[in-house]
Amino acid sequence: MTVFDMLPACFALAGAVLLVVAAVRRGNLTAVIKAHDLLPAFLVRLAPLAGPAEGLAGAAVLAGWLSGEARLLRFAAAAVALWYLALAAYLAVLLRRRGRVPCGCLDETSPASAAKVGRSLLLALATAPLVAGWPPVPAETGARLLACGLGAFVAGFLIIAGKVADLRGTSAAHGQ
């Protein structure tokens, strides 16, 4: 299996890495969701479970890939793809109703944006093929590790690109 054969998996694994990073880095997601005032009270009460759930789903995708356990990988990939679809919908509604308020994606200050909606949709689409078992998990441990490393690199790139987009959006909003 070549690096080019693994590229689709790298993007899906990047989505999983981002969920783990978000679960570890994020501050008080419950307070951010309450401030948005978009969800009914019973869902807001479930907000403390959101961070651990997304971190667990991302970690399960990584564990399924690294271990070569196809059933775990497929189940976890389905959870991650659905999570990103739900996030895209939530961010789109948030952006429409509240504007560029902090979204709580990786921290408590970065604003909701069309770029974050698009990124969430792309990560959902990138993860969806894993649900169907494509690309197949390589038999070689080194190839699985390489794909995870490339996925982590892509995740880092997406974080940096998001921060740059946030800075650009902030300076454009202030007329600079």
User: In the predicted model, what is the mean pLDDT of the chain?
Assistant: 91
Assess contact for 8 and 125: CB atoms under 8 A. Answer: no
Its pTM stands at: 0.92
Q: Which of 1-5, 78-82, 136-140 has the lowest mean pLDDT?
A: 1-5
- The count of other CB atoms within 10 Å of the CB of residue 79 is 20
Residue partners of 11: CB distance under 8 A and separation at least 6: 122, 123, 126, 151, 154
Q: What is the pLDDT of residue 109?
A: 83
Whether residue 155 is predicted with pLDDT greater than 90 in this model: the reply is yes
pLDDT digit string, tens, across residues 31-41: 899 999 999 99
pLDDT digit string, tens, across residues 40-68: 999 999 999 999 999 999 999 999 999 99
Whether residue 114 is predicted with pLDDT greater than 80 in this model: the reply is yes
Assess contact for 23 and 55: CB atoms under 8 A. Answer: yes
Residue partners of 133: CB distance under 8 A and separation at least 6: 70, 74
Q: What is the pLDDT of residue 1?
A: 64
pLDDT band at residue 170 under the 50/70/90 scheme: low
